[in-house]
Amino acid sequence: MGAEFNFGLIFDYFLKLLPFIKISLIIVGSSILVGLGVGLLVALPRMYKVPIFQRLSQVYVSFFRGTPILIQLFLIYYGVPEILKLLNVDVSRFDVLYFVILTYGLHSAAFISEGIRASVSAVDRGQIEAAYSVGMNGYEAFKRIIAPQAFAIWIPILGNLIIGTLKDTSLAFTLGVMELTGQSQTLGLLNRHFIESYLALALVYFILSVFLEKGFILLERRFIKYEKTSVEKSGNAFKIRNLFGKLNRDVIVVKEGTRL
Amino acid sequence: MKLDLSFIWTAFIQILPAIPNTLFITVVSVFIGFLIGTFSAIVRIYKVPFLSQIASGYVTVVRGTPMITHLLIIYYSLSMLLDSLAKNYHLPFNSASIPMMVFAIISFSITAGAYLSEVVRAGITSIERGQIEAAYSVGMTTTQALKRIIFPQAFAISLPNLSNTFIGMLHGSTLAFIVSVVDINAKAQIVASTNWKFFEAYIAAALIFWGITIVIEKMTSLLEKRFSVFSRGGVK
């Protein structure tokens, strides 16, 4: 099978993988941007119960959460050019990267719309009533009272989503995008040191996830100043400490799906 | 080129026989993962020295890396290990004699174990401390209290999370094509490779996955009703 295991190579490969972090991060960043736009559009009809559109966005969310991202990648890669061909638009020469970003964007939009809905509905109903009682109108109440609180609740959900998307980008190599996973496969093929190159790959992803996770914890702290109990569990709740500090956070019991 | 509706149907029929493969991998790895997860969750809750640090490290590392890296690392390192063992001790088998599905199941179990560890831990810690104290006060041992009082309640509470993890693993099982297991995804590719109608084949595969996911969600909500009778409206 492979060549003899060589520990030092892991570090070697690790350094060689570093430049490819950029592509993975580009995919994550642009698809989250696409996801935020589409996700908001999908969330609105359901929050305001717009007939027909409400149903459509339900189907949209159900589809993108109900099928594997790998299938969606192929579906969009093969499907979008064919659909656009009917409109006489030729996209078959477009870079694969655009299709990948579109897929991850549409995929994360489904999760983002659910996240937005969950965070807005997690804000206590009394808050908006209190806002009305001091004379605010609907828009003011949303902007000054609901949105800031919902945003604080939303941050950890968004954090999980971004980390999930980062891990999902490891599938982009199936369409031939040279990101981290694709590159580590190439490195492994060079002299058949597969284990070392994949360990280096895991290490890169792990470090990225840890950084993102830490970043979001800091961000979360920044935004929940107004109220300690809404996001964090109360003091007697079980907290674990491990090698990496407070990395294993409580599973958020919002139906957001597990992202592998 | 027009969308070939009839081929979607043909592909759909041809992919159907691959469903058992996908379900088998998913169910077995979630089951083993649940055992690993429960063990590591309990070890962490009771802060068993040494073991709890290992469990935390395991959960952190696995949750911080993509599932595909677990599969690749397990596949290459296990087969290398087996081959060198077979060579040194002249065993009558090598990595090629082990079905590929075994590698997929081992790796997916490890992945599921880490995610389920968090689910189980969240479930158990969401049960009030008073419950276990009450169990002790009527003379139960810790094992009895966990088995009869804590687990049933924790199970009801973590059902949505369990089902999410199950669906996640179902979707993750599409990675099995990497170790050339013919699951729904791989079958779609095979079906399409005869006439290059990839779009149609993947529509069929997507519909199958969508259907299975909806069935799981419906079953979960039925189970939820059944298992949360004890809490009068507290839990969802």
Tell me the domain boundaries of chain A.
20-223
Q: What proportion of chain A, given as a percentage, has pLDDT over 70?
A: 85
Q: Would the CB atoms of B118 and A253 count as touching at under 8 Å? A: no
- Per residue in B112-165, pLDDT (tens digit) is 999 999 999 999 888 888 888 999 999 999 889 988 988 888 888 889 899 999
**Shortest Cα distance from B55 to chain A (angstroms)?**
9
User: Which residue from B minimizes the CA distance to A208?
Assistant: B64
Q: Mean pLDDT throughout A113-117? A: 92
Per-residue DSSP letter, B18: G
Q: How much is the pLDDT for B210?
A: 95
Domains of chain B, with CATH numbers?
A: 24-181 (1.10.3720.10)
> Has the ipTM of the complex gone over 0.85?
yes
pTM, two decimal places: 0.85
- The minimal CB distance from A71 to the residues B68, B77, B205 is found for B205
- Residues B73 and B63: their CA atoms lie apart, in Å, by 15
- Per residue in A16-74, pLDDT (tens digit) is 899 999 999 999 999 999 999 999 999 999 888 888 999 999 999 999 999 999 999 99
Helix axes A194-223, A147-168, angle to 10 degrees: 180
Q: How much is the pLDDT for B232?
A: 56
- Residues B39 and B33: their CA atoms lie apart, in Å, by 10
Query: Does residue A221 surpass a pLDDT of 70?
Result: yes
Other beta carbons within 10 Å of A63: 17
Residues A121, A165, B65, CA angle at the centre, nearest 5°? 120
- Per residue in A149-192, pLDDT (tens digit) is 888 888 888 999 999 999 999 999 988 888 899 889 888 888 88
Residue B39's Cβ-side half-sphere holds a number of Cα atoms within 13 Å equal to 13
Tokens at B130, concatenated: 């008073």
pLDDT tier for residue A243 given thresholds of 50, 70 and 90: very low
Contact B18, B183 (CB under 8 A): yes
Query: Does residue B64 surpass a pLDDT of 60?
Result: yes
**Shortest Cα distance from B124 to chain A (angstroms)?**
10
**Mean pLDDT value across chain B:** 89
Which of 102-131 (B) contact A at CB < 8 A? Answer: 111, 115, 118-119, 121-122, 125, 129
Of B221, B211, B168, residue with least CA distance to A257 = B168
Q: Would the CB atoms of A257 and B167 count as touching at under 8 Å? A: yes
pLDDT tier for residue B84 given thresholds of 50, 70 and 90: confident
Query: Does residue A234 surpass a pLDDT of 60?
Result: no
Give the least confident one: A84-98, A156-170, A234-248, B85-99: A234-248
DSSP, collapsed to helix, strand or coil, labels residue B129 as helix
pLDDT tier for residue B6 given thresholds of 50, 70 and 90: confident
Name the class of domain A20-223.
mainly alpha
Contact B225, B156 (CB under 8 A): no
Which residues of chain B does A242 touch, with a Cβ-Cβ cutoff of 8 Å? 53, 56-57, 60
Query: Does residue A193 surpass a pLDDT of 50?
Result: yes
Which of 75-94 (B) contact A at CB < 8 A? Answer: 76-77, 79-80, 83
**Shortest Cα distance from B140 to chain A (angstroms)?**
23
Give the least confident one: A57-71, A231-245, B27-41, B92-106: A231-245
Q: How much is the pLDDT for A142?
A: 86
- A245 strand-pairing partners: A242
Helix axes B151-172, B198-227, angle to 10 degrees: 180
Of A109, A107, A113, residue with least CA distance to A48 = A113
pLDDT tier for residue A3 given thresholds of 50, 70 and 90: low
Which of 168-187 (B) contact A at CB < 8 A? Answer: 168-172, 174-175, 185
- Per residue in B39-58, pLDDT (tens digit) is 999 999 888 999 999 999 99
